[in-house]
């Protein structure tokens, strides 16, 4: 039997702490006794802490210091608003830790798919911490990275819907740490896959073995409810068409109806009469007679379908007879791309129309179409003479959205970079008629948010005429240190509008069908000007505004629905 050495050491240490506590209790008491006992309690807590998992030195970053004395808010840059119909999407410029705190107010439990492509922390100036590049010589390089990502992943976990899942691109530098971190935050039981992705086919390497792949790590919010579906099952075999092609799609003929069964069944061994010919399993009448007389092998010829199923399949176009050059013929069954025969609740056969799916394979992303080379080609179609380090291809993001259960999913990317996720959402909606919408967050280092992320989305919408709209927000901060709530409440009130727009994917500007009222004075003005709101159908009302009976009746007469703005919109962040 194995011995748990670490457990023994903890128990020895706890025993020593107990002895020290007993000694203190027996000694004369003074003003320091309470402090000493408190210190011992803290030591016990540490000793009884986590026994297995990721161990690292915790670090605070500059953003933590800012959030200690400020609360983040959103301010819209209305000059950058893109209005081209379709779903409303959002781009948030600022530190993503602050952005995620704000999204916790508006999207807790609502995000269906999160994709992030965080810095890989290679030590080659790809990860900035507190405005400084982290280099390989930094002794706390990994601890700083894990501290940085842990706070953000904890918030992302809160944002995921019950069916939601998160996909993380990472390479070997931090893949083990990310796995441990996600096991702790999402739970080991919610791990789905760690899929290799080809990054390049060839090239120089600084290692003994060429590193040509990274990973896509996937975790569910709840493995029992996760909304991951199969991808379309399409191969070259689906090349034939018949009169059902509009509803069933193309079909393939890859299976004969008869086969040398693994276990012979007399019930599946019967003659079939078609167009004046009689067919037997194995195409041999004499052997058919021998089998019926009991002379058959354990595995012998039979039909794959029962007689009832065959008759239904034949009458509904699922059967093909193929003639051979020697005058013989065999029966084949059609496998349609989007149709199958199934039993209904009444135990009767019926043709069910549904897209044929197959699970995404852990080897799918090894195809060249998912490489960084393709990502660079995607960008070259939008920007000329533009270089972006390690972009992700549209094909990768589209495939991840394809396995998401809903074509109306809310997709979040809080390391948005070049904006591939937003581009992919727009393109997927155009291809399959979906209503997905995205929220992108990124800082504005080297003007990336304004000149790359935003500009890419703008050009994509403009070039293709996609029906999609975009609001551009920036994270600002309201100081709260040494101030009572009423001293800064009016400042928060000025930014409630953006939160309402973000949560509900709407736009108040120049929109006559919706309105927002945040003060009693605003409500009085709204009520007093019927000519300005005859088209209004929905009013978002501040949570602390009390309407009198007359005002309530006026709104009812105008058939205006009232939505109360949640009170937590008005509060500063909780620790």
71 lies in the same domain as 210? yes
Cα 531 from Cα 525, distance rounded (Å): 12
- Low-confidence winner among 43-47, 288-292, 352-356, 530-534 (lowest mean pLDDT): 530-534
Provide the number of structural domains found in the chain: 4
Cα 537 from Cα 514, distance rounded (Å): 6
* Average pLDDT of the residues of the chain: 90
Q: Which of 439, 459, 479 is the last residue of a domain?
A: 479
- Low-confidence winner among 132-146, 173-187, 542-556 (lowest mean pLDDT): 132-146
* Alpha helix stretches (DSSP H) within 301-453: 307-315, 372-380, 394-402, 420-432, 448
pTM of the model: 0.82
Confidence category of residue 77, pLDDT binned at 50, 70, 90: very high
Average pLDDT over residues 77-106: 97
Name the nearest CA neighbour of 349 among 393, 316, 390, 397.
Answer: 316
Cα 478 from Cα 492, distance rounded (Å): 7
Q: Which of 328, 358, 388 is the last residue of a domain?
A: 358
Per-residue model confidence as pLDDT tens digits over 557-575: 989 999 999 988 887 655 4
Please report whether residue 488 resides in a domain: no
108 lies in the same domain as 203? yes
Please report whether residue 55 resides in a domain: no
Cα 368 from Cα 239, distance rounded (Å): 25
Residue 382 has pLDDT above 60, yes or no: yes
Per-residue model confidence as pLDDT tens digits over 477-493: 999 999 888 899 999 99
Confidence category of residue 387, pLDDT binned at 50, 70, 90: low
Name the nearest CA neighbour of 339 among 236, 227, 242.
Answer: 242
250 lies in the same domain as 220? no
Indicate the burial class of 145 (C-beta count within 10 angstroms; 0-12, 13-18, 19 or more).
buried
Q: Which of 459, 479, 499 is the last residue of a domain?
A: 479
Average pLDDT over residues 62-69: 92
Please report whether residue 519 resides in a domain: yes
291 lies in the same domain as 196? no
Cα 374 from Cα 352, distance rounded (Å): 38
HEC-encoded secondary structure of 502-566: HHHCCCCCCCCCEEEECCHHHHHHHHHCHHHCCCCCEEEECCCCCCCHHHHHHHHHCCCEEEECC
90 lies in the same domain as 210? yes
Name the nearest CA neighbour of 134 among 150, 116, 147.
Answer: 147
364 lies in the same domain as 443? yes
Confidence category of residue 43, pLDDT binned at 50, 70, 90: confident
Report strand pairing: 191-198 vs 124-129: unpaired
Query: By residue range, what is the domain housing residue 536?
Result: 508-570
Average pLDDT over residues 215-221: 98
pLDDT value, residue 130: 67
186 lies in the same domain as 144? yes
φ, ψ dihedrals at 164, nearest 5°: -75, 165
pLDDT value, residue 532: 65
219 lies in the same domain as 73? yes
The answer to whether 144 and 121 are in contact (CB under 8 A) is no
Average pLDDT over residues 371-385: 87
Please report whether residue 490 resides in a domain: no
Please report whether residue 493 resides in a domain: no
Per-residue model confidence as pLDDT tens digits over 455-481: 999 999 999 899 999 999 999 999 999
Confidence category of residue 136, pLDDT binned at 50, 70, 90: confident
The secondary structure of residue 228, as a DSSP letter, is B
135 lies in the same domain as 158? yes
Residue 207 has pLDDT above 90, yes or no: no
70 lies in the same domain as 187? yes
* Helix (H), strand (E) at residue 115: strand 111-116
Confidence category of residue 206, pLDDT binned at 50, 70, 90: low
CATH number at residue 400: 3.40.50.150
pLDDT value, residue 51: 64
Residue 250 has pLDDT above 80, yes or no: yes
Name the nearest CA neighbour of 378 among 120, 116, 369.
Answer: 369
Confidence category of residue 235, pLDDT binned at 50, 70, 90: confident
422 lies in the same domain as 385? yes
Residue 410 has pLDDT above 90, yes or no: yes
pLDDT value, residue 159: 98
Please report whether residue 575 resides in a domain: no
pLDDT value, residue 2: 61
Please report whether residue 502 resides in a domain: no
High-pLDDT (> 90) share of the chain, %: 67
Residue 68 has pLDDT above 60, yes or no: yes
14 lies in the same domain as 131? no
Please report whether residue 28 resides in a domain: yes
Per-residue model confidence as pLDDT tens digits over 418-463: 999 999 999 999 999 999 999 999 999 889 999 999 999 999 999 9
């Amino acid at each position: 039997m194995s011995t748990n050495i670490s457990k023994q050491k903890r128990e020895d240490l706890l025993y020593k702490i107990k002895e020290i506590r007993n000694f203190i209790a027996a000694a004369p008491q003074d003003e320091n006794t309470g402090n000493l006992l408190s210190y011992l309690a803290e030591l016990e807590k540490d000793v009884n802490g986590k026994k297995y998992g990721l161990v690292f030195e915790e670090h605070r970053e500059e953003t933590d210091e800012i959030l200690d004395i400020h609360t983040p808010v959103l301010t819209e840059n209305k000059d950058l608003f893109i209005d081209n119909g379709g779903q409303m999407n959002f781009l948030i410029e600022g530190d993503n830790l602050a952005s995620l705190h704000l999204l916790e107010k508006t999207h807790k439990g609502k995000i269906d798919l999160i994709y992030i492509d965080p810095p890989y922390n290679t030590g080659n100036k790809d990860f900035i911490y507190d405005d400084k590049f982290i280099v390989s010589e930094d002794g706390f390089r990994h601890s700083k990275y894990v501290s940085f990502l842990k706070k953000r992943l904890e918030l992302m976990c809160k944002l995921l819907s019950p069916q939601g899942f998160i996909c993380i691109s990472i390479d070997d530098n931090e893949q083990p740490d990310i796995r441990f971190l996600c096991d702790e935050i999402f739970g080991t039981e919610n791990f789905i896959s760690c899929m290799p992705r080809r990054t390049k086919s060839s090239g120089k390497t600084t290692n003994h073995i060429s590193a040509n792949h990274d990973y896509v790590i996937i975790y569910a919010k709840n493995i029992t409810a996760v909304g991951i579906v199969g991808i379309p099952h399409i191969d070259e075999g689906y090349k034939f068409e018949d009169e059902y092609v509009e509803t069933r799609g193309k079909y393939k003929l890859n299976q004969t109806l008869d086969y040398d069964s693994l276990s012979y069944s007399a019930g599946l061994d019967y003659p079939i009469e078609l167009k004046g010919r009689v067919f037997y399993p194995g195409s041999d009448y004499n052997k058919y007679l021998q089998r019926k007389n009991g002379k058959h092998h354990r595995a012998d010829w039979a039909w794959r379908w029962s007689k009832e199923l065959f008759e239904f399949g034949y009458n509904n176009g699922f059967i093909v007879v193929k003639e051979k050059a020697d005058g013989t013929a065999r029966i084949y069954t059609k496998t349609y791309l989007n149709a199958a025969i199934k039993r209904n609740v009444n135990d009767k056969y019926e043709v069910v129309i549904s897209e044929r799916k197959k699970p995404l394979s852990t080897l799918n992303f090894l195809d060249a179409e998912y490489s960084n080379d393709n990502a660079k080609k995607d960008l070259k179609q939008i920007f000329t003479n533009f270089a972006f380090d390690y972009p992700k291809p549209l094909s990768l993001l589209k495939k991840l959205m394809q396995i998401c259960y809903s074509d109306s999913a809310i997709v979040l990317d809080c390391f948005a970079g070049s904006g591939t996720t937003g581009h992919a959402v727009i393109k997927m909606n155009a291809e399959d008629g979906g209503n997905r919408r995205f929220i992108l967050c990124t800082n504005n280092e080297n003007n990336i948010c304004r000149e790359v992320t935003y500009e890419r989305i703008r050009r994509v919408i403009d070039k293709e005429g996609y029906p999609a709209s975009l609001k551009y927000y920036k994270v600002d901060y309201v100081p709260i240190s040494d101030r009572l709530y009423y001293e800064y409440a009016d400042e928060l009130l000025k930014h409630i509008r953006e939160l309402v727009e973000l949560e509900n994917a709407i736009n108040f500007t120049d929109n006559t069908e919706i309105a927002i009222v945040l003060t009693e004075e605003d409500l009085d003005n709204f009520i007093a000007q019927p000519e300005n709101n005859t088209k209004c159908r929905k009013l978002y009302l501040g949570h602390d505004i009390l309407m009198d009976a007359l005002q309530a009746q006026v709104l009812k007469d105008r058939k205006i629905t009232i939505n109360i703005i949640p009170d937590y919109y008005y509060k500063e962040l909780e620790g």
